[in-house]
Structure 1
Amino acid sequence: MTRTTEANVPRCAGCGIPLQSESQTRPGYVPESSIGKEVAVCQRCFRIKNYNEASSVTVDQDEFLKLLGSVASTDSLVVHIVDLFDFQGSLISGLQRFVGNNPVLLVVNKIDLLPPVTNWNRLRNWVQKQAREEGLKVADVVLCSARRNIGFDRVVEAVTAYRGDRDVYVVGATNVGKSTLINRLISDYSDLKRELTVSRYPGTTLDAVHIPLDDGKNIIDTPGIVYEWRMSEIVPRKDLAALLPDKPLKPLTYQLNDKQSLFIGGLARFDFVEGERQSFTFYLAGSLNVHRTKLERADELYADHKGAMLSPPSLEDLASMPPWTRHRLRIPPNAQSDIFISGLGWIQTNGKQGATVDVHAPRGIKVMLRESLL
């Protein structure tokens, strides 16, 4: 078996975890014959890259916070990547106290999910306002899509403008597209011939990865922080593809009378409790089914059809998820509001008379009213 000291321990070229050949059940396992290679990839990253197969390896979040806390003592540019589809769910709470006086560049990924007719200036202003409300001071906001290579030239320009001769720390929640963006930064700033592991599964980057730049500085990719208030963190992994859209969202508009309910698969329920007849527009992944019923029949429908017609999740997987809890929201008259369900999407309200609605979602999932995104 290969043993190394902490000072010279080799690390995975994909996720940055220290490599070891002693136990296949521990993070960072590689066969002993591979551990000395110049570019070695752990078994977990190999499986993700070649078979799209996630493992159950997790990382202690105290270590993540310790790592994030060290950023304040450096002279760095902090690039915070957020997921536009899950903006309030993927913004790092309290980031300002961790970064000190270092400038923060807010990169908003996955804009390809929005309609082409979106007013991008209005969207950028919306992002700036939401960030301010969360107490985050940002030097700039950049909108992009790493997947579609939209706006990435602007990301590179902004990093160049604000970096100077600093290192670049890249931070974000799990599954916001950090590794995809960093791969693109590598191609512009470094001749390093490797790619980070990119996966749709949360928690792919297990440790800080230092990527040397041509000017002697580094891009530091930090592990994604896990927020359990996001639906994408608590659903069974096989259902993630149903939640995470990979195509532009097709809004679903429903004209509802009060006392009607809509189920979003078996993941959440929306009740129009009180108000004049009005429309509600759902922005969800296209693979999720929405079922309408009368409020008085909603409990019975769920009891009879959860895990089957009302899925995901399956009936078997329901046991591993938290029970639903109810959130009552009162929408003021003439308000342009979204009902945001973290990791699942949002519901745009369109009524001028106001409304009272209930959202039933797994306990702990963030549900809130916000200013309308679109």
Structure 2
Amino acid sequence: MISRKLTPSKLRTFLTLSPFTTYTYTKPISNPITNPPKIPNLLNPTKTLASQFPIFRPFSSISPLPLTRDGNYDETTSQTLQICPGCGITMQDSDTKKPGFFIKPTIKDSNYKIPIDRNPVLDETQIPDSVKKGFLIESGQDSINPNPKTVEKPVVCARCHSLRNYGRVKDQTVENLLPDFDFDHTVGRRLNSASGNRTVVVMVVDAVDFDGSFPRKVAELVSNTIDVNSRAWKEGKSGNLPRIVLVVTKIDLLPTSISPTGFEYWVRTRAREGGANKLTKVHLVSAVKNWGLKDLADDMVSLAGPRGHVWVIGAQNAGKSTLINAMGKCVGGRMSVLTEAPVPGTTLGIVRVEGVLPGQAKLFDTPGLLHPHQITTRLTRDEQKLVHITKELKPRTYRIKADHSVHIAGLMRLDIEETSVDTIYVTVWASPNLPLHMGKTEKASTMVEDHFGLQLQPPIGKQRVEELGRWVKKEFRVHGNWWDSSCVDIAAAGLGWFAIGLKGEALLGVWTYEGVDVTLRDAVIPHRSHNFEVTGFTVSKIVSKADKSLNKQRDNEKKRKVGDAEMEATTRAAL
């Protein structure tokens, strides 16, 4: 109504004061070719002026999409909102700086991949003139898919696209906008329900970081639910008893000499100590080698029944999505591929996976649980690449005496403080990319100042040494009964472990950054290397590169001193 009563000059003044938009009125230059004259609406002349100023539009009724982690658990929600099939976040195409942004793909013809016949059309004598002039559509001809077996790729968010193609998150600031994943509210309350569908909890644990990736809170929650509902069921009340299936993945990274039976016994013992005292099944699998996937899928089908819910739960980067994708390929089901990347927190919301379980049974992939006691949570992406184990572990063994120390990069140190025997065997099980150092304990303090961030990486750079925090010490008194194999392990969450072999007792001091969980446990891999490491740094690319940089720096400093001396001598001779 305001635009109908005001003249353009007064309307311009009003618009400059408007908090919604700005407008600068300029008299258009009349051009009959580019700007043809507009015919006024004679039936309703008042609408002509309003159409020239389409700035007073009603506010959009579309509310911003909620930033939740529920994903597509609820079928009604998945029908109203578009959920990313790769990570489970709610997708939107309006703001690139918010989570879930995606670009709508352009519609392509089914024959766009057919090779182009580059013979000139005009040289062909049997082609109709209508085709030569551009009328290529002829009646009675249907487009034929050149590859009918090709499955259309699902549309995923920009974050999943970057992780799948480049292995990294494009915009890290968007990650900070996501709400924290509240397991108790999102998943825990559904597991605690005494009624409803049958529940199967699949806890995925990393074989090379068992204690660091073991979900203790989930194990205690489900075990308590089983106890409470079991008593209710005995009293004749409704009681849903969840089934716990412990899946130890990435077993292809363990040495092939390890005994499967002995390792399963070790796993059950550690799980019982971690709070999972009601295990239904234990599976040792490898998604890369396809070991044990068929048996796992069969057990999940039998335990879930025709309408059960299967929840895949585990720590960040434990391999949940990789495991589900491998199972889908193993059973031959049609399913959308979950996003896989060696980046913690790849899955953002609950993802209902189709094609793995038959009937009305449902399989859910959940966001990784954040374990702040893992050292990888405080490392940068480049530092995580050095810590991440991608190949079969190889032992690196030292035969050392008291008052000596062993460093694993700049992340962990073991001091042999006291021992009842002359020597003990220390085997390091960690990523082969991490450099090691063995020397006297009295010189360990100088290692931080001279070599942390250089020869001992991670941390990468001197600045990162201060950013990671301060070192704290824990003491362990261990004892063993034999030399030939390791007796106990001292493991750091997210890094690796020291395996100790001795026949006697020893007092050990372990140094690492404050907040990192250090665990004393029975040895998981008893054997050690027959070739011993020597004193000093181990040979690695990091040490070699740091040595070259240090030597170059020393040479430049020496040349500078020589040049200064020669200049000083020349100046004296001139005087």
Instruction: Give the structure-2-normalised TM-score.
Output: 0.62
Counterparts of 2:492 and 2:513, CA distance in 1 = 10
More helix by percentage: 2
Q: 1:71 to 1:234 in 2, by over 3 A?
A: same
Q: Which residue of 1 aligns with 2:284?
A: 143
Q: Which residue of 1 aligns with 2:35?
A: none
Asked if 1:297 is matched to 2:420, the reply is no
Q: 1:47 to 1:38 in 2, by over 3 A?
A: closer
Q: Which residue of 1 aligns with 2:191?
A: 71
Asked if 1:243 is matched to 2:387, the reply is yes
Larger radius of gyration: 2
Aligned ranges 1:274-285 → 2 under 5 Å: 274-275=418-419, 276=421, 277-285=423-431
Query: Are 2:290 and 2:326, in contact at CA under 8 Å, matched by a contact in 1?
Result: no
Aligned residue for 2:83, secondary structure, equals coil
Q: 1:175 to 1:323 in 2, by over 3 A?
A: same
CA positional deviation for 1:355: 1.1
Query: Are 1:11 and 1:40, in contact at CA under 8 Å, matched by a contact in 2?
Result: no
Q: Which residue of 1 aligns with 2:344?
A: 202
Asked if 1:153 is matched to 2:294, the reply is yes
**Could you tell me which amino acid in structure 1 is paired with residue 498 of structure 2?**
I
**Could you tell me which amino acid in structure 2 is paired with residue 332 of structure 1?**
H
Q: Which residue of 2 aligns with 1:85?
A: 208
Query: Are 2:403 and 2:441, in contact at CA under 8 Å, matched by a contact in 1?
Result: yes
Asked if 1:322 is matched to 2:473, the reply is no
CA positional deviation for 1:44: 0.6
Is the deviation greater in 94-103 or in 238-247? 94-103
Q: 1:5 to 1:301 in 2, by over 3 A?
A: closer
Aligned residue for 1:272, secondary structure, equals strand
Aligned ranges 1:220-299 → 2 under 5 Å: 220-275=364-419, 276=421, 277-299=423-445
Q: Which has the higher contact order (CA 8 A, sep 6+)?
A: 1
Aligned residue for 1:240, secondary structure, equals helix
Asked if 1:111 is matched to 2:251, the reply is yes
Counterparts of 2:95 and 2:221, CA distance in 1 = 35
Counterparts of 2:475 and 2:201, CA distance in 1 = 37
Question: Which of 84, 98, 103 does residue 12 from structure 1 map onto?
Answer: 84
CA positional deviation for 1:5: 6.7
Aligned ranges 1:125-144 → 2 under 5 Å: 125-136=265-276, 137-144=278-285
Counterparts of 1:244 and 1:173, CA distance in 2 = 15
Query: Are 1:210 and 1:220, in contact at CA under 8 Å, matched by a contact in 2?
Result: yes
CA offsets per residue over residues 96-120 of structure 1, 9 Å max, x none? 4433320010000111111111110
Q: Give aligned pairs, total.
A: 372
More strand by percentage: 1
Is the deviation greater in 15-24 or in 63-72? 63-72
Counterparts of 2:331 and 2:362, CA distance in 1 = 10
Counterparts of 1:5 and 1:262, CA distance in 2 = 52
Aligned residue for 1:353, secondary structure, equals strand
Query: Are 2:304 and 2:361, in contact at CA under 8 Å, matched by a contact in 1?
Result: no
Asked if 1:359 is matched to 2:506, the reply is no
Aligned residue for 1:79, secondary structure, equals strand
Counterparts of 2:364 and 2:179, CA distance in 1 = 19
Aligned residue for 2:310, secondary structure, equals strand
CA positional deviation for 1:127: 0.5
Q: After the TM superposition, list the runs of 4 or more consecutive aligned residues in structure 1 that deviate by more than 4 angstroms.
A: 1-6
Is the deviation greater in 232-241 or in 51-60? 51-60
Identity across the alignment (%): 31
CA positional deviation for 1:31: 2.9
CA positional deviation for 1:174: 0.5
CA positional deviation for 1:333: 4.1
Is the deviation greater in 65-74 or in 80-89? 65-74
Counterparts of 2:335 and 2:362, CA distance in 1 = 15
CA positional deviation for 1:324: 1.4
Counterparts of 2:384 and 2:346, CA distance in 1 = 14
Instruction: Give the structure-1-normalised TM-score.
Output: 0.93
Asked if 1:27 is matched to 2:27, the reply is no
CA positional deviation for 1:26: 2.0
Aligned residue for 1:248, secondary structure, equals coil
CA offsets per residue over residues 135-155 of structure 1, 9 Å max, x none? 212101100111222222222
Question: Which of 317, 337, 345 does residue 175 from structure 1 map onto?
Answer: 317
Counterparts of 1:310 and 1:5, CA distance in 2 = 46
CA offsets per residue over residues 265-310 of structure 1, 9 Å max, x none? 1111111111131111111111111011110000012211110011
Q: Which runs of 5+ in 1 are unaligned?
A: none
Q: 1:62 to 1:184 in 2, by over 3 A?
A: closer
Q: Which residue of 1 aligns with 2:493?
A: 342
Aligned residue for 2:192, secondary structure, equals helix
Query: Are 2:294 and 2:330, in contact at CA under 8 Å, matched by a contact in 1?
Result: no
Aligned residue for 1:185, secondary structure, equals helix
Question: Which of 427, 443, 459 does residue 313 from structure 1 map onto?
Answer: 459
Q: Which runs of 5+ in 2 are unaligned?
A: 1-59, 67-76, 107-151, 226-240, 526-575
Q: Which residue of 1 aligns with 2:221?
A: 98
Counterparts of 1:20 and 1:152, CA distance in 2 = 35
CA offsets per residue over residues 41-69 of structure 1, 9 Å max, x none? 11111000011113532554452331221
Query: Are 1:81 and 1:106, in contact at CA under 8 Å, matched by a contact in 2?
Result: yes
Asked if 1:46 is matched to 2:118, the reply is no
**Could you tell me which amino acid in structure 2 is paired with residue 203 of structure 1?**
G
Counterparts of 1:194 and 1:212, CA distance in 2 = 7
Aligned residue for 2:245, secondary structure, equals strand
